[in-house]
Homo-oligomer: A and B are copies of this chain.
Amino acid sequence: MRPMDVSWLEMIATPAALVDLDRVDANLQRVARYTQQHGLRWRPHTKTHKTPEFARRQLEAGAHGVTVATVREAEVMAEVCDDVLLAYPAVGEERLGRLMNLPSRVRLTVALDSVEALHHLGRHARTAQRTVGVLVELEMGMRRVGVATPEDALSIARAAASTPGIEYRGVTFYAGHLRAPGGALGSEMRAQSERLALFVDTLSREGLRPDIVSGGSTPTLWRSHEVTGLTEIRPGINIFNDRNSVSAGACAWDACAYSVLSTVVSTSVPGQAVIDAGSKALAKEEGFDPSGGYGALLDRPEVRVQGLSEEHGLLDLSRTDWRPRVGELVRVVPNHVCASVNLHERLYLVRQGHYVAAHAITARGW
């Protein structure tokens, strides 16, 4: 392994999640500059780090609030933030009950795509005597959640505007299916603008012009300004980046701030080395990279993790002359950083190769 102070690394249990703070700073500054330049509000998704300390860093760098996917994330992020968007349908008594118990200083907004979910939310908001904002979730081609037609969006927006306890604030969508690297995305970005305009125009004609139009994803991050009418973006992965961000053209390899420190535990099978980072440390997520694999070495990106068992990662040595010894330390960049972070208890923070601190990943679970 290259420029790292290995003395402290040998004291910690591998696999361990490392975060390079210099790279985090650079990643945050880049998105802060971009959103400022284009007049977009920045509401990072905290599901990537699940750690209040990193949410605080995002807010200090200029974020206007945070996005969460679970009530646990909302509870944890409320420790450091007064403006929380739950980008997830708030369905179920337990979920709604805890959501209403967030500190009253928190400006809460919820995305939803059904009148049922709206009615439940309204009932809980009135019981808790708080005002909850609502964004209508739009289906923009990913076919996961969201209303498919402007008429359906209008029904929910109208209901939101007339429900006591609820404040209609706008629309939201997630086009997570768009990931073509390079210039191939141009026509998709235009199509997104056109589809979005259908919704916004219908709502505006009926006096329900959305104040907030919230979108964006990490693969399309730097082209968010091409989506006409967008007011806010919610990138998550961008704080750390991962192998998929690089494959999608969203960042360079040296913008990867997260890696899993691992120990080589076996070299008995020729052509490969086995590390102690398996699917329970890296997550078994198919990548965008056509060469396959579940990750690659930070210091030797030509060495891929070609196979994963629960506690074994198989390094493919076919494209390198490097032959690791048993006991050697390596750092792996996973395909999907959010899924990997979620498997760890803490993040070890590093600056200039030296240990700085560890943060507990407190927003795991639900």
A residues near B, CB below 8 A? 10-16, 47, 69-72, 88-89, 91-95, 98, 113-114, 116-117, 120, 137, 139, 143-148, 152, 176, 263-269, 272, 274, 276, 279-281, 283-286, 307, 309-312, 314, 325-327, 338-339, 342-345, 364-366
Contacts and interface: CB of A to CB of B under 8 A. Distances in A.
A73 to B, nearest CB: 10
A339 B266 contact: no
Nearest to A174: B309
Given A327-B116, A366-B13, A263 B91 contact: yes
Contacts of A14: 92, 94-95, 366
B343 A265 contact: no
A144 to B, nearest CB: 6
B266 A312 contact: no
Contacts of A263: 91-92, 95
Contacts of A116: 325-327
6 contacts: A16-B366, A144-B274, A144-B309, A145-B269, A284-B285, A343-B343
A263 B279 CA distance: 26
Contacts of A327: 91-92, 116, 120
User: Number of copies of this chain in the oligomer?
Assistant: 2
A88 B265 contact: yes
A91 B279 contact: no
A52 B14 CA distance: 23
A280 B88 CA distance: 14
B148 A268 contact: yes
Contact of A279 (B152, B268, B339): B339
A69 B265 contact: no
A339 B94 contact: no
Contacts of A13: 71-72, 94-95, 98, 365-366
A310 B69 contact: yes
Given A13-B94, A47-B310, A268 B146 contact: yes
A188 to B, nearest CB: 19
B279 A12 contact: no
A272 B309 CA distance: 31
A88 B309 CA distance: 12
Q: Identify the interface centre among A72, A266, A312: most chain B CB within 10 Å of its CB.
A: A266
A339 B284 contact: yes
Given A13-B365, A47-B311, A91-B263, 20 more contacts: A10-B92, A12-B94, A13-B71, A13-B98, A13-B366, A14-B92, A14-B95, A89-B265, A91-B265, A113-B266, A114-B267, A139-B268, A143-B269, A144-B274, A144-B312, A145-B274, A147-B268, A276-B366, A284-B284, A345-B364
Contact of A94 (B10, B309, B314, B326): B10
Nearest to A366: B13
Contacts of A47: 310-311
A345 B307 CA distance: 27
